[in-house]
């Protein structure tokens, strides 16, 4: 398999879009169809999704929201690859770390306003609507790119963006819909799990690690937590939810990630994890 990172660095910047388009065509040819992801009707439509999230998949932030959105937007692929080229990134660990910076520059910093988020999509749908039928039809045209630069993107969007970018760079990764407990706060949460050589890693770009450099500059990094493959084996063998619990010196928070992963939806992962 040709190393996509090497291909990027060996390709002239004027031809990068063609390189990305070619890679995307191959990725979407292998997509696993899924109608809905996110949190819908008080239950999770799926607890995890492996590989690229198809363009027509509808994602919903919470069951009380009337609005959802598709993954038809593709500009983020091209913008991310240009950053990979600009920063001369040649290893996969650096790709994961760049996800945090890119998520913040693409979506903006989350202001935690669900009202503004709802008004953004509903307002766009109402703008050219004269009837209720037109409103609902226009609302169905919402896509993840509508959140670009609006400072309202939540975990569902940030993890979906990360999932598709990870897939572009040939990571075996999962879009997970679970629960996170950070401090005293417990809530539904979307994040990613990435397979590495000897472990799986939780990657969370919605609740990043904040650090100050020696110069006093505040920087953001994705939260990354390693999960030993033996832990995955136990989860799969006993059909129990994965519980990841670790206190980190970086953010001084005890985080618990829980997701009822993989065993039923993805038997192929069970085979990989138990090899």
Instruction: Check residues 111 and 156 and name the one with the higher pLDDT.
Output: 156
Q: How many CB atoms lie within 10 A of CB 275?
A: 6
Check if the beta carbon of residue 138 is closer than 8 Å to that of residue 125.
Answer: yes
Between strands 48-50 and 173-182, the pairing is antiparallel
**Domain parsing of the chain, residue ranges:** 4-273
User: Tokens standing for 171?
Assistant: 């990571």
* 121-135: pLDDT as tens digits: 676 667 777 777 777
Least confident range from 81-85, 103-107, 149-153: namely 149-153
pLDDT at 42 exceeding the cut of 60: no
Instruction: Check residues 250 and 116 and name the one with the higher pLDDT.
Output: 116
- Residue 269: band (very low, low, confident or very high) from pLDDT cuts 50, 70, 90: very low
Mind giving me the DSSP string for 189-251?
EEEEEEE-SSEEEEEEEEEEEEEE-TTS-EEEEEEEEEEEHHHHHHHHHHT--EEEEEE-TTT
Positive or negative, the CA dihedral 62, 67, 72, 76 is negative
Least confident range from 39-48, 56-65, 259-268: namely 259-268
- Residue 4: band (very low, low, confident or very high) from pLDDT cuts 50, 70, 90: very high
Check if the beta carbon of residue 64 is closer than 8 Å to that of residue 117.
Answer: no
pTM given for the model:
0.84
Least confident range from 2-11, 178-187, 263-272: namely 263-272
What is the residue-averaged pLDDT of the chain? 79
């Amino acid at each position: 398999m040709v190393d996509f990172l090497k291909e990027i660095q060996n390709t002239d910047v004027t031809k990068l879009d063609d390189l990305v388009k070619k890679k995307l065509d191959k990725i979407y040819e292998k997509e696993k169809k899924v109608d809905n992801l996110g949190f819908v009707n008080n239950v999770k439509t799926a607890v995890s999704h492996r590989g690229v999230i198809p363009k027509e998949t509808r994602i919903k932030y919470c069951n009380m929201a009337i609005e959802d959105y598709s993954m038809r937007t593709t500009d983020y692929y091209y913008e991310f690859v240009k950053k990979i080229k600009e920063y001369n990134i040649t290893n996969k660990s650096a790709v994961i770390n760049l996800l945090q910076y890119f998520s913040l520059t693409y979506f903006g910093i989350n202001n935690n306003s669900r009202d503004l988020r709802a008004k953004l999509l509903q307002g766009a749908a109402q703008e050219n609507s004269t009837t209720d039928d037109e409103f609902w039809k226009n609302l169905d045209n919402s896509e993840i790119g509508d959140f670009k630069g609006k400072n309202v993107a939540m975990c569902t969007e940030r993890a979906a963006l990360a999932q598709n970018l990870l897939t572009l760079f040939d990571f075996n990764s999962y879009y997970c819909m679970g629960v996170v407990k950070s401090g005293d706060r417990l809530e539904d949460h979307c994040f990613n799990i990435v397979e590495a050589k000897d472990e799986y890693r939780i990657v969370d770009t919605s609740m990043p690690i904040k650090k100050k450099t020696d110069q006093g500059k505040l920087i953001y990094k994705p939260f990354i937590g390693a999960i030993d493959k033996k832990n995955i084996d136990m989860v799969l063998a006993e059909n129990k939810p994965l519980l990841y619990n670790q206190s980190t010196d970086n953010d001084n928070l005890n985080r618990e990630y829980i997701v009822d992963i993989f065993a039923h939806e993805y038997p192929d992962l069970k085979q990989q994890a138990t090899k």
